[in-house]
């Protein structure tokens, strides 16, 4: 919307807010007309002198605009002149040299005029661009490694700041240098006949290297030469009749090539030829063995060819079945007969192992025969081991542990229920050791010791127990035992007459009181046997007429040695 001067009422140009003549603010047409009318009538009443002043101001503004135009043109000319000057300054010369690939010239300008100044961002960018151009030329093999290294050396000679600045490019360049070395090493190894090693080096050539395509071709050629060598070696082995060695050689070569992601049709064909010759050899060998009734060897000969080398033909399959059936029956007969010999020699574990060793692979009929034989020997073994345990025990409670130990060793050979049951039947005759086994309660100080007890008369006993005056200890027997036995003795190094005795209680009833023993008595050790049939809780009460000396670590002068309860053989 057009605006009008509120002072003179003239229409203002589009976008102009202040009248160029009056310097008054522009308003809409209606507001400007009203304001102008009021101004002319009542406010401004301009004189001719004022009109003259307006014209002078307008002329002054025109002159100012002309002067400003002249100044602007002068500034532009100054900038242009400065640009021309800068073009010929050292920085510009150095940067142009970098752009033109004159790295040695750029370095000379830098060293002569700029080395004492900090490199600008533009200069740093020029250095990076120059390094990348060297890298590109090297990767395309437009320049050799030596030229690239020399050019890169010029760029890095600009100052220590270039180490970090050019590090990424230097890393890629080092990879290309390594690529060159890999190519050269591959060629060297190829000439020496080290084809796999040569292939490895060819494959190290960088994908960014112009040599890459050629390196891949050389790697493939190396693998072909390796395959030729494998075939030659296998052929020599086959000529000597070493078929298994030849097959292993060919398989190894096939596996190596597979690891390299390729294969050799010639090797695969050679493997087939070698299998065919090996088949003929196996069938002939097996037939000769069968003629001597060595069916086991004949079967294993054919099986090795079929299973170990995976070459199956109709002829081999039929031969394997024929020899396997004959060998199984022969093997079963011989093994059962040999098992009888082993058992008679007391080699029980070997007996069962020999029978079980032939189970795998047998026909159903032959397997049943062997299992029946194993069952017969298990029953015989259980009977013999239980009989031997009874013989060892013989009603003597002191030998029941030995009898059980023998049965437990038998279980290690064969885990049989009859042997387990026999152990259960004998364990009830094991004694309950009052010195070692768990007690249910004690009152006062009662001590149990598994070390030796030396009596005053010089006897030694294995285990002992003692208590302070009126101290007692109880054991849960659950009416499972018949006899309590011990040796009540006086220690050998007593200094004064010290007397003591003990009582045995069964279910709150006193059933035994020992004699007192002292060091000056003729009797210093006495064997004790007490009937405890039906007793559920056994209690031992100690009495003595002395206090243990603290300086002697609670020393006791009397002890119950080898105290135990046991069941009579009924």
Q: Are strands 441-443 and 472-476 parallel, antiparallel or unpaired?
A: antiparallel
Residues 94, 207 within the same domain? no
- CA dist 268 and 256 (Å) reads 13
Residues 230, 118 within the same domain? no
Residue 170 contacts by C-beta under 8 Å, 6 or more apart in sequence?
A: 131, 152, 156
Does residue 226 fall inside a structural domain? Answer: yes
Q: Give the whole-number percent of the chain exceeding pLDDT 70.
A: 85
Please identify, among 165, 198, 223, the residue that sits at the C-terminal boundary of a domain: 165
Q: How many domains does the structure of the chain reveal?
A: 3
Q: Label residue 523 by pLDDT band (50, 70, 90).
A: confident
pLDDT tens digits for range 150-202: 999 999 988 889 999 999 999 999 999 999 999 999 999 999 999 999 999 99
pLDDT at 51 over 60: yes
Extract the tokens encoding 332.
């079963």
Residues 130, 236 within the same domain? no
Does residue 61 fall inside a structural domain? Answer: no
Neighbours of 382 (CB within 10 A): 20
Residue with tokens 């194993």: 374
- Cα dihedral across residues 112, 116, 122, 124: positive or negative: positive
Q: Using only the alpha carbons of the chain, give its radius of gyration.
A: 58
Enclosing domain of residue 502: 432-566
pLDDT at 500 over 80: yes
Give 529's DSSP letter. E
Q: Which residue has the higher pLDDT, 74 or 260?
A: 260
- What is the SS3 string spanning 302-363? HHHHHHHHCCCCHHHHHHHHHHHHHHHHHHHHHHHHHHHHHHHCCCHHHHHHHHHCCCCCCC
- CA dist 263 and 401 (Å) reads 70
Does residue 275 fall inside a structural domain? Answer: no
Does residue 83 fall inside a structural domain? Answer: no
Beta bridge partners of 530: 484
Does residue 447 fall inside a structural domain? Answer: yes
CB 302 within 8 A of CB 316: yes
Residues 130, 232 within the same domain? no
Q: What average pLDDT does range 255-267 have in this prediction?
A: 93
CB 314 within 8 A of CB 322: no
Q: What average pLDDT does range 355-372 have in this prediction?
A: 92
- CA dist 108 and 232 (Å) reads 63
The CA-to-CA distance between both ends of the chain, in Å, stands at 134
Please identify, among 131, 165, 199, the residue that sits at the C-terminal boundary of a domain: 165
Q: Which residue has the higher pLDDT, 460 or 52?
A: 460
Q: Which residue has the higher pLDDT, 243 or 556?
A: 243
Q: What is the dihedral of CA 129, 130, 136, 139, to 10 degrees?
A: -130
- Residue 547 pLDDT: 74
Q: What average pLDDT does range 314-333 have in this prediction?
A: 91
Q: What average pLDDT does range 42-47 have in this prediction?
A: 45
pTM above 0.75, yes or no: no
pLDDT tens digits for range 92-143: 888 898 988 889 898 889 988 887 778 888 888 989 999 999 999 999 999 9
């Amino acid at each position: 919307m057009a605006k009008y001067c509120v002072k003179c009422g003239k229409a203002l140009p589009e976008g102009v807010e202040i009248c160029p003549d009056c310097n008054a603010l522009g308003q809409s047409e209606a507001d400007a007309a009203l304001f102008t009318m009021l101004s002319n009538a009542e406010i401004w009443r301009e004189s001719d002198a004022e009109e003259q002043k307006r014209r002078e101001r307008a002329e002054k503004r025109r002159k100012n605009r002309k002067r400003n135009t002249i100044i602007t043109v002068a500034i532009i000319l100054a900038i242009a002149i400065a640009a021309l000057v800068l073009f010929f300054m050292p920085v510009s010369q150095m940067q142009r040299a970098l752009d033109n690939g004159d790295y040695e010239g750029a370095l000379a300008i830098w060293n002569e005029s700029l080395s004492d100044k900090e490199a600008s961002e533009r200069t740093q960018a020029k250095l990076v661009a120059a390094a990348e151009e060297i890298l590109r030329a090297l990767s395309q093999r437009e320049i050799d490694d030596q030229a690239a290294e020399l050019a890169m050396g010029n760029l890095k000679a600009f100052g220590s700041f270039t180490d970090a600045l050019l590090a990424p490019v230097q890393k890629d360049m080092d990879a290309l240098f390594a690529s060159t070395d890999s190519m050269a090493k591959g060629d060297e190894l190829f000439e020496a006949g080290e084809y796999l090693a040569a292939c490895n080096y060819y494959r190290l050539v960088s994908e960014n290297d112009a040599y890459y395509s050629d390196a891949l071709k050389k790697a493939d050629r190396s693998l072909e030469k390796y395959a030729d060598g494998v075939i030659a070696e296998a052929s020599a082995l086959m000529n000597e009749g070493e078929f298994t060695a030849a097959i292993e050689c060919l398989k190894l070569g096939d596996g190596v090539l597979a690891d390299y992601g390729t294969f050799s049709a010639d090797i695969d064909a050679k493997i087939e030829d070698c299998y065919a010759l090996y088949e003929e050899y196996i069938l002939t060998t097996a037939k000769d063995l069968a003629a001597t009734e060595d069916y086991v060897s004949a079967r294993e000969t054919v099986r090795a060819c079929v299973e170990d080398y995976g070459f199956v033909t109709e002829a081999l399959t039929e031969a394997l079945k024929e020899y396997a059936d004959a060998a199984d029956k022969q093997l079963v007969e011989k093994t059962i007969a040999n098992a009888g010999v082993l058992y008679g020699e007391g080699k029980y574990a070997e007996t069962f192992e020999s029978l079980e060793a032939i189970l795998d692979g047998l026909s159903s009929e032959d397997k049943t025969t062997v299992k029946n034989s194993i069952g017969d020997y298990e029953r015989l073994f259980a009977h013999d081991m239980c009989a031997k345990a009874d013989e060892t025990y013989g009603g003597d409670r002191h030998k029941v542990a030995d009898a059980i130990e023998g049965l437990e060793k038998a279980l290690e050979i064969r885990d049989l229920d009859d042997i387990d049951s026999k152990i259960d039947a004998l364990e009830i005759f094991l004694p309950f050791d009052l010195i070692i086994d768990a007690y249910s309660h004690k009152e006062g100080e009662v001590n149990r010791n598994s070390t030796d007890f030396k009596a005053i008369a010089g006897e030694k006993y294995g285990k002992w127990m003692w208590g302070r005056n009126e101290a007692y200890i109880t054991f849960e027997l659950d009416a499972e035992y018949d006899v309590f036995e011990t040796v009540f003795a006086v220690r050998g190094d007593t200094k004064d007459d010290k007397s003591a005795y003990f009582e045995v209680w069964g279910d709150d009833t006193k059933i035994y009181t020992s004699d007192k023993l002292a060091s000056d008595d003729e009797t210093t050790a006495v064997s004790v046997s007490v009937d405890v049939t039906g007793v559920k809780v056994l209690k031992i009460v100690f009495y003595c007429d002395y206090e243990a000396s603290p300086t002697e670590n609670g020393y006791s002068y009397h002890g119950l040695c080898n105290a135990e309860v046991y069941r009579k053989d009924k």
